[in-house]
Amino acid sequence: MGDAGGQGTFWLPTPLVFCRSIRPMLLLTRTPEAWHRLSQLKATALPGILGGKALHVRCRLWSRQGSAETGRQGQPQGPGLQTRLLITALFGAGLGGAWLALRAEKEQWRLQRRTEALRQASVGQGDFSLTDHRGQARCKADFQGQWVLMYFGFTHCPDICPDELEKLVQVVQQLEAEPGLPPVQPIFITVDPERDDVTAMARYVQDFHPRLLGLTGSAEQVAQASRSYRVYYSAGPKDEDQDYIVDHSIAIYLLSPDGLFTDYYGRARSAKQIADSVRGHMAAFRSVLH
């Protein structure tokens, strides 16, 4: 392009410089990689008319700042790992505690329902009048305020009664080993009053536990106590030696400190299972007499 005075023709570099310099600027608005490409431009590519050296330095500085910001944006936001682990642990502990509390409450509710159902069956509601193996008269009121495990059997029983009494004693010993639990009174009531007098009962109970109390009485007294707890028994025929077996119900009965029948355990229940059940009844017990 020439001037009007007809002087020598020359080209204005300004439009070219503008075009070459505006493109890197436009790249700045697109992607973070553009900062890196712009920083590689040499100062000679930008004519001195626009301060190429200064622009080059400025572009390099902007490139570093852009990379740092990009790196920070890529880092995970929010709480640190330890904080998240702590929150997770506390949340898990809270759920576990709530589950255990709900389970304990459900077990207490189940035991209360079972106790009420057994009481409605009128088991163990009546009193009894018997004699212990020391010759002292006993009635059910004597054991009020104590937990009682009671078994009906006879001293001439060949195997079942000794096994069940041994299991009852194991339950008592397991509960005795826990100082925080109240004592449990073990009782053995005969269903064979003809042969199991006071002397026979005293000799028999000493082989099991020092606190095992043997109770006997007349045929009428034993029948009354057995009916109260729905215990079936029947003496079989005598052999040539006048010996006989008594067929009877096999169960261990649990009485609460109120003197009320609370639960029973058949032969299939182990000593540990019975002890766990008694422990649960103790925890759920609420007196109905006070």
pLDDT in tens, the chain (290 residues): 444 444 444 344 444 333 444 444 444 444 455 445 544 544 444 444 444 444 444 444 444 454 444 445 555 555 677 887 888 888 787 877 777 777 777 766 776 676 566 555 555 566 889 999 999 999 999 999 999 999 999 999 999 999 999 999 999 999 999 989 999 999 999 999 999 999 999 999 999 999 999 999 999 999 999 999 999 999 999 999 889 999 999 999 999 999 989 999 999 999 999 999 999 999 999 887 76
Residue with tokens 């009420």: 116
Cβ neighbours for 67, distance < 8 A, ≥ 6 positions apart: 32, 35, 36
Res 254: pLDDT: 96
Tokens of 229: 């707890």
**Short-list 139, 142, 143, 112, CA closest to 126:** 139
Res 14: pLDDT: 43
Q: For the packed helices 271-284 and 81-120, what is the interaxial angle rounded to 10 degrees?
A: 90
Task: Centre a 10 Å sphere on the Cβ of residue 204 and count the other Cβ atoms it contains.
Answer: 23
CA atoms within 13 A on the CB side of 200: 14
Strands (E), the chain: 129-132, 137-139, 147-153, 184-190, 213-216, 233-235, 246-248, 252-255, 261-265
Res 117: pLDDT: 63
Checking 238-247 for CB contacts under 8 A at 24+ apart, the result is 243/156, 245/156, 245/157, 245/158, 246/154, 246/156, 246/157, 246/191, 246/192
How much is the pTM? 0.61
The span from the CA of 254 to the CA of 16, in Å, is: 106
Res 55: pLDDT: 42
CA atoms within 13 A on the CB side of 28: 16
**Short-list 13, 4, 78, 68, CA closest to 46:** 13
Strand-pair category, 147-153 with 252-255:
antiparallel
Report the SS3 class of residue 139: strand
